[in-house]
Amino acid sequence: MTILKASGLTKVYGSSRRAETRALDGFSFEVEKGRFVGIMGPSGSGKTTLLNVLATIDAPTSGTVLVDGLDTSRLKGEELALFRRKRLGFVFQDYNLLDSLSIEENIALPLVLDRRPLTAIKRRVEEVAAWLGIEELLNRFPYEVSGGQQQRAAIARAIVHEPVLVFADEPTGNLDSRSARAVMDAFTLINARAGATILMVTHDPFAASFCQTVFFIRDGRLYTEIHRGDGRQAFFQQILDVLSQMGGAYDEHVADRV
Amino acid sequence: MSTWRIASRFFRHDWRRYVAFVGSTAFTVMIYFLYTALSMHPDLQGGYPYARQAVQGMKAAAVVIAIFAFLFLLYSSSSFVRLRMKELGLLSLLGVSKRQLIQIILGENLIIAAVSLAAGLGVGLLLLKLFFMGISALLRLPRELPFSAGVGVWLRTILVFGGMFAAVSVASLRAVLRRSVVELVRAGRKPKAAPRFSAWRLALGLLLLIGGYLWAGSPNPTMVVTGVVPVTLIVSLATLILIREASIACLSWLHGWGRYYYRPGPFLTISQLAYKIQDNYRVLAATAILVAVILTAIGTAFTLYALSTSDAVNTYPIAVQLVQYGGTDERPSIAAVHAVLAKHGLDRMPRRELVALRGRLTGRKLDVAVVPYSFYREIRADGREALNSGDDHEAILVFPRALLHGQRKEAESWNDRVQIGEEELALTVKPDEAGRLVNPGRHLLYNLVVSDVVYDGLANRVAPGQRIHISMWTGDWRGRAMQQASSELSALFAGQEKKLVSTTTGQYQAQVTQMGLLVFIGVFVSLVFIAACFSLLYSRLFTDIEEDRRYACRLQQVGVTTRELRGQALSQMAVIFFLPFVVGLVHSTVAMHALGTLTRRTVLHYGWGAALLFLFLFGAFFLGTGQLYWRALQDGLQREARSGVF
């Protein structure tokens, strides 16, 4: 079953023709339910614009986005915010946890906004925290735990309300390699256990190697897509190969992190 | 780019942060300028009645304003420097030298000083004429004060405020230069500890507050009077402690109440509010104390105004009274008074004559006027016998009733001796504090009532020099005719004879003028406090706005709607604004209750009247600032939204 379908997405910035920038140029792709999908591309390739458009934060100049069969361009203002909060989950590079709330409260936030009963909230938060191995941290505050733990809490918050789709933007961008691995394991786990559909934008071939499918984007267009076979190591190598084909912008990535 | 351009760019870029600071400083400059212009006005340097008091009052108010303005500037600029730290740190990281840094800070301060002074003096100049008109009307000056603002006025205002700005600039320079570049850049990025309250500090605060309130609430006027300063200090300290501890304790309690807390509104508001209160409790306490001072000042001024006018009849019970000392039987001035009254159609007023005897109560060391019991009975006219008719050794001492009651409670009765000329009598004296029998004058403040038999005996024996002849016209003192007659009488009996004739109407008018002036000064000083109070809240709000933006942005990212965000932001702001108001109102209610003890009346409604007025101002300010704040918050959010979430 297709959970996300983008067709002919185009996004043009700037009004006058001379200053026009085409960030997306007829981009189309589909994501099946329960898949863990990565999007890669060099800087300026349109990754972030794509994510913003897919996540309904930015409107495309043309083209449509269907999330779970719903055309998101039909939603306006408040509806859109409610749609985002009930149906989507977000994981950000800098975690975006609220400093004034404990880890438990941060995870509970989407359920509280949804006015779920207290007992249901508590039960669900404990369940999700246990999956991600952060049940010991529930009473701590964000500044009291490590970056990796904060990111796992953010993942818990993103899936606690069982969204149809989780968006992640460079989730390992601020982490050391050990924490990055723990975070990617967490994504793999929630994908397998909760059946969450995840769409992750990343620069990092190591992080991308945890995905089942990786789409490559260049100059706002779909460059290619690859699917994972048996081993993650082999997939990692495959990713590096595509990146080197694309050239240029990936020189900064050193491939010794497997 | 020159350092000057950097400084001016800072100023233009962040005008919202500056506007409250510059606005309230300019307002303070304006008020100071007006007061100084009035106190240095050439026409007021002599001559007019009450003008001297007015000038004194204005001078005192100007000093209070100057001291207050200095503290305010010091505080505001230090919070400014905190805001600037990161920017200044970045500049020095990029290679700006210490000298240039000093130039930037001084440049910025110079701009603020120049704009505030120019705006304050400009608006002050515009309002000066109006101010003079108001003062002339209040002081009932025969001629309106002409426009006058000499070089001295300008020079003094500029010197006083220029000096303050210079001192404040030096303070902010020190604050910046003491820190290393790293400290500057990192300023404000330290994670904040979760707000917790301490039970013992909460208990201490409560103890201080209850102690202060009990002291102020004492029914004993002497306790109240001696308590003014210590109670103010104790309650201020209690406010400082409690506003943090009690608020955080309350919020923690709400936080622990799962069913309430785990709902969108409280969930988003309570936890962040606790942080805000922890960060801002000093400002909140200062605002609460300011509000208490403002409400009490205005309430007291209103009370004194209202009571003193109603008290005119208590202090000067006789509508028209003429006094003659000595023993001459020729009293031509009665005819003069009568002529004036007749001219205004008041010749039907009943007249009564009394001869009081000058004496001295040796035990109490008081000069008294001895009057007969029959006169006392006529005045009191309540049918109760205050003296045993058979006992000639009993007497009543009638005390003048003061507006503010501070003296100790009188004994039931005491033994004393009265000396009249060569005569001396032993008496048992009972006090009477129910109000005066006659208008005050030399020897007439305290009246000793003795039995008619004793009085007659004394009156026959004393020398004429011991007698005081009092002619009293009684009746309505409020009419227009009486007003005209009163001013004509005071014109007629000028100079030496001035004290001999007194009227209730004249006293009433004097009270209205004096107390009106008091109210006027009180309200103006309060205005400065109000401006400061608003400015403190406003600048606090915009100091935190970056943090609030970050918070709102994160909330928006997890799907909090704009309406929910607005509700959350405004409800937090409402608590920050109205918490100090409520605390200040409670304090001022206790203070007004104490004033009630001193005046022996219920005066709470005057305080609450002032509070209602202030509430309107506060409400309007809240709505206006709320709009500005929400717009500033939204600007940031939209910027964020334009650049996408990721």
Asked if residue B463 has pLDDT above 50, the reply is: yes
The pLDDT, as a whole number, for residue A153 is 93
The pLDDT, as a whole number, for residue A211 is 93
Q: Do the Cβ atoms of B602 and B302 come closer than 8 Å?
A: no
Beta-carbon separation of B267 and A109 below 8 A: yes
The pair of three-digit structure tokens given for residue B97, joined into one six-digit string: 């030298």
Structure-model confidence comparison of residues A206 and B600, the more confident one: A206
Closest CA–CA distance from residue B615 to any residue of chain A (Å): 31
Alpha-carbon gap, residue B527 to B112, rounded angstroms: 22
Q: Do the Cβ atoms of B184 and B88 come closer than 8 Å?
A: yes
Alpha-carbon gap, residue B617 to B87, rounded angstroms: 36
Beta-carbon separation of B559 and A85 below 8 A: yes
The pair of three-digit structure tokens given for residue A227, joined into one six-digit string: 């699917």
Q: Which of B190, B210, B226 is the last residue of a domain?
A: B190
**Average pLDDT over all residues of chain A:** 87
Q: Confirm whether B294 is domain-assigned.
A: no
Closest CA–CA distance from residue B255 to any residue of chain A (Å): 11
> In sequence order, what DSSP letters do the residues of B400-443 get, joined into one string?
PPPSS--SPPPPS-EEEEEEETTEEEEEEEEEE-S--SS---TT
Alpha-carbon gap, residue A224 to A239, rounded angstroms: 11
A120 has a chain B CB within 8 A of its CB: no
Q: Confirm whether B548 is domain-assigned.
A: no
Span B153-173, average pLDDT: 89
Q: How confident is the model at residue B29 (pLDDT cuts 50, 70, 90)?
A: confident
Q: What percentage of chain A exceeds 90 in pLDDT?
A: 36
Q: Do the Cβ atoms of B361 and B422 come closer than 8 Å?
A: no
A96: left (phi over 0), alpha (psi -120 to 50) or beta: left
**Closest residue, chain A, to B551 (C-alpha):** A98
Beta-carbon separation of B644 and A98 below 8 A: no
Q: Do the Cβ atoms of B363 and B398 come closer than 8 Å?
A: no
Q: Confirm whether B310 is domain-assigned.
A: no
Q: How confident is the model at residue B215 (pLDDT cuts 50, 70, 90)?
A: very high
A92 vs B555, B556, B646: nearest CB: B646
Beta-carbon separation of B551 and A84 below 8 A: no
Beta-carbon separation of B644 and A157 below 8 A: no
Residue carrying the six token digits 């509280």: A112
Q: Which of B190, B207, B233 is the last residue of a domain?
A: B190
Q: How many domains is chain A partitioned into structurally?
A: 1
Domain residues for the domain of B76 are 1-190
Q: How confident is the model at residue B405 (pLDDT cuts 50, 70, 90)?
A: low
Alpha-carbon gap, residue B44 to B333, rounded angstroms: 34
Span A76-102, average pLDDT: 86
The pLDDT, as a whole number, for residue A196 is 86
If we measure between CA atoms, which residue out of B81, B112, B120, B75 comes closest to residue B287?
B75
Q: Do the Cβ atoms of B416 and B427 come closer than 8 Å?
A: yes
**Closest residue, chain A, to B644 (C-alpha):** A52
CA angle B588, B302, B308 (to 5 degrees): 125
Residues 6+ apart with CB under 8 A from A179: A146, A147, A148, A151, A172
Q: Confirm whether B359 is domain-assigned.
A: yes
Structure-model confidence comparison of residues B482 and B24, the more confident one: B482
**Average pLDDT over all residues of chain B:** 82
Span B192-213, average pLDDT: 90
The pLDDT tens digits of the residues spanning B541-563 come to 777 777 788 888 888 877 788 88
Closest CA–CA distance from residue B263 to any residue of chain A (Å): 6
Residue carrying the six token digits 């020190």: B174
Alpha-carbon gap, residue B415 to B419, rounded angstroms: 14
Alpha-carbon gap, residue B112 to B38, rounded angstroms: 26
CB pairs below 8 Å between A and B: how many? 90
Q: How confident is the model at residue A106 (pLDDT cuts 50, 70, 90)?
A: very high
Helix (H, G, I), strand (E, B) or coil at B366: strand
Alpha-carbon gap, residue B363 to A82, rounded angstroms: 87
DSSP H helices, B419-557, are 452-461, 480-492, 504-543, 545-557
Rounding to the nearest 10 degrees, give the CA dihedral for residues A199, A203, A207, A213: 50
Chain B residues with CB under 8 Å of A57 CB are: 641, 644-646
Span A123-140, average pLDDT: 91
Q: How many domains is chain B partitioned into structurally?
A: 2
Asked if residue B86 has pLDDT above 80, the reply is: no
The pLDDT tens digits of the residues spanning B438-461 come to 888 888 888 899 988 889 888 888
Q: Which of B475, B497, B513 is the last residue of a domain?
A: B475
Asked if residue B70 has pLDDT above 70, the reply is: yes
Q: Confirm whether A258 is domain-assigned.
A: no
Q: Confirm whether A233 is domain-assigned.
A: yes
CATH, residue A92? 3.40.50.300
Q: How confident is the model at residue A190 (pLDDT cuts 50, 70, 90)?
A: confident
Asked if residue B501 has pLDDT above 50, the reply is: yes
Q: How confident is the model at residue B602 (pLDDT cuts 50, 70, 90)?
A: confident
Burial A13-52 (b: 16+ CB within 10 A, else e): eeeeeeeeebbbbebebebeeebbbbbbbbeebbbbbbbb
Q: Confirm whether B123 is domain-assigned.
A: yes
Beta-carbon separation of A101 and B259 below 8 A: no
Q: How confident is the model at residue A156 (pLDDT cuts 50, 70, 90)?
A: very high
**Which of A64-73, A247-256, B610-619 has the weakest average pLDDT?**
A247-256
Per-residue three-class SS string for B310-341: HHHHHHCCCCEEEEEECCCCCCHHHHHHHHHH
Q: How confident is the model at residue B28 (pLDDT cuts 50, 70, 90)?
A: confident
Chain B residues with CB under 8 Å of A110 CB are: 558-559
Q: Confirm whether A257 is domain-assigned.
A: no
Beta-carbon separation of A113 and B275 below 8 A: no
The pLDDT, as a whole number, for residue A254 is 43
Q: Confirm whether A17 is domain-assigned.
A: yes
Structure-model confidence comparison of residues B130 and B191, the more confident one: B130
Q: Do the Cβ atoms of B28 and B538 come closer than 8 Å?
A: no
Beta-carbon separation of B558 and A77 below 8 A: no
If we measure between CA atoms, which residue out of A137, A60, A7 comes closest to residue B644?
A60
The pair of three-digit structure tokens given for residue A80, joined into one six-digit string: 């859109």
Alpha-carbon gap, residue B607 to B300, rounded angstroms: 7
Chain A residues with CB under 8 Å of B274 CB are: 100
The pair of three-digit structure tokens given for residue A119, joined into one six-digit string: 């007992």
Residue carrying the six token digits 């000064």: B521
Domain residues for the domain of A80 are 2-252
Span A40-61, average pLDDT: 86
The pair of three-digit structure tokens given for residue B609, joined into one six-digit string: 């009247």
Structure-model confidence comparison of residues B188 and B416, the more confident one: B416
Beta-carbon separation of B561 and A78 below 8 A: yes
Q: Confirm whether B567 is domain-assigned.
A: no
The pLDDT tens digits of the residues spanning B91-147 come to 777 777 878 888 888 888 888 889 999 999 999 999 888 888 887 776 666 677 788
Q: What percentage of chain B exceeds 90 in pLDDT?
A: 14
Query: Interface of chain B against chain A, CB under 8 Å?
Result: 191-192, 194, 258-259, 262-264, 267, 271-272, 274-275, 551, 554-564, 641, 644-646
